[in-house]
């Protein structure tokens, strides 16, 4: 006699609803934390902190991090990590500056060539990372740590350790310091387009669905026909491509390749992604949460400067918050595994399994 299995439709709906509520709750918590931080500094410095000029500066300073954060969100959702984005940013900016300097022009023709070169450099490093991780099965931490060192080393070899300042004037004046619709920075508009695109891709496309699947349960993904290795290559390529874009934006904003100024960029972006609710264990995350999480260290640094506190305390606070966030996430995962009170991270995998399962009470 065969025991009929209960219908899974209600379970799947409940699972999805619970997952959506959890993500909304996490986003709300991060938003509240940011609001409290802003309120504290607004009270401490009412005349200078909550002004249009200062808010514009905070948004502008977060823009490049936001571009990097979109790619990092995809990577971490797959259960991976990318430590190399800061060095890839520098390398892309260096090669683009070299090419634009050799062309000698100051107009959009030269600038667009530089943009294409930076994107190609970032994409190349991303593909290299992805292939080594997916095909050679080298751990992401090792691969991207090696890329971090190699990309920065190549940048220093090309420049002999000296910053380049070969950005065309049009790139600096219209992108780095330009405005759209009054006082809205062009840099921030570009970052906003990338962020919105990242949100749409992650939550509304098959690519985003596969990203969650790869991080939630890669083996189950393979069983339903997902080419996990190819998808990982695509995800790391995307992260590299956005690092290349950040490289040209960084060159436009600082008018320099800032070779020695990006040593903590990768760690800061990873911290912002984790604070924003993306689990370092994979399978959970959102681009919106990442953007909010990235604002927190920038607001802290700005507020500490204005209140006379050493800005180095920002790293201490961000580090403490990061540890707390990962600790809470780990406890939540452990509780779910022990009590099975939490549903699977990615319910569609159980709905689209490789075939019907027999109940343990089925007779042979």
pLDDT in tens, 207-220: 999 999 999 888 88
DSSP 50: T
Q: What is 272-308 written as a DSSP string?
A: HHHHTT--TTSS---HHHHHHHHHHHHHHHHHHHHHT
pLDDT digits (tens, 9 = 90+) for 155-168: 999 999 889 988 89
Rounded to an integer, what distance in angstroms lies between the CA atom of residue 307 and that of residue 17?
Answer: 43
Q: What is the pLDDT of residue 102?
A: 92
**Predicted TM-score of the model (pTM):** 0.84
Integer-rounded Cα radius of gyration of the chain: 22
* pLDDT score recorded for residue 22: 54
Looking at residue 326, its pLDDT comes to 83
- Give me the pLDDT at residue 26, please: 66
Residue 179 host element (H or E): strand 179-180
Q: Which helix (H) or strand (E) holds 59?
A: helix 52-77
pLDDT digits (tens, 9 = 90+) for 273-305: 999 989 888 888 999 999 999 998 889 888 988
Interatomic CA distance for residues 163 and 215, integer angstroms: 38
Q: Distances in Å between the alpha carbon of 281 and those of 81, 140, 268, 326, 330?
A: 10, 13, 18, 9, 8
What gap in Å lies between CA 201 and CA 198, rounded to an integer? 5
CA–CA dist 75, 193 (Å, integer)? 19
* Residue 358 Rama label (left phi>0; alpha psi -120 to 50; beta): beta
Q: Give me the residues of the chain with pLDDT under 50, please.
A: 1-19, 341-364
284: left (phi over 0), alpha (psi -120 to 50) or beta: beta
DSSP 180: E
Phi, psi of 229 (to 5 degrees): -60, -45
- What are the structure tokens assigned to 218, written together? 């890669």
Stated as kind and residue range, the H or E segment containing 184 is strand 184-185
Q: How far apart are CA 326 and CA 305, in angstroms?
A: 28
């Amino acid at each position: 006699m065969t025991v009929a299995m209960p219908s899974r439709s209600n379970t799947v709906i409940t699972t999805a609803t619970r997952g959506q509520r959890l993500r909304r709750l996490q986003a709300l918590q991060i938003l509240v934390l940011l609001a409290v931080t802003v309120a504290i500094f607004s009270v401490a410095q009412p005349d200078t902190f909550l002004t249009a000029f200062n808010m514009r500066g905070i948004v502008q300073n977060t823009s490049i991090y936001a571009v990097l954060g979109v790619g990092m969100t995809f990577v971490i959702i797959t259960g991976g990590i990318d430590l190399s984005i800061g060095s890839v940013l520098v390398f892309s900016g260096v090669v683009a500056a070299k090419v634009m300097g050799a062309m000698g022009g100051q107009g959009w023709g030269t600038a667009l060539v530089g943009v294409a070169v930076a994107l190609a450099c970032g994409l190349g490093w991303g593909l290299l990372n992805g292939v080594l991780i997916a095909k050679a099965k080298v751990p992401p931490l090792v691969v991207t740590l090696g890329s971090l060192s190699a990309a920065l080393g190549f940048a220093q070899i090309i420049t002999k350790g000296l910053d380049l300042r070969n950005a065309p004037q049009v790139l600096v004046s219209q992108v780095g310091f330009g405005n759209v619709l009054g006082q809205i920075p062009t840099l921030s508009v570009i970052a906003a387009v990338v962020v919105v695109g990242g949100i749409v891709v992650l939550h509304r496309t098959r690519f985003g669905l596969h990203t969650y699947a790869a991080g939630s349960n890669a083996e189950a993904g393979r069983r339903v026909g997902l080419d996990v290795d190819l998808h990982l290559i695509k995800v790391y390529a995307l992260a590299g491509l956005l690092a290349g874009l950040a490289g040209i934006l960084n060159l436009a904003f600082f008018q320099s390749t800032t070779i020695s100024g990006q040593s903590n960029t990768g760690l800061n972006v990873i911290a912002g992604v984790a604070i924003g609710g993306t689990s370092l264990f994979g399978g959970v995350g959102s681009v919106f949460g990442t953007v909010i999480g990235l604002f927190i260290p920038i607001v802290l640094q700005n507020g500490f400067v204005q209140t006379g506190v050493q800005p180095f305390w920002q790293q201490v606070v961000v580090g403490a918050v990061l540890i707390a966030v990962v600790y809470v996430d780990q406890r939540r995962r452990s509780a779910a595994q022990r009590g099975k009170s939490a549903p699977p991270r990615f319910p569609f995998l159980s709905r689209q399994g490789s075939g019907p399962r027999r109940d343990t009470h089925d007779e042979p």
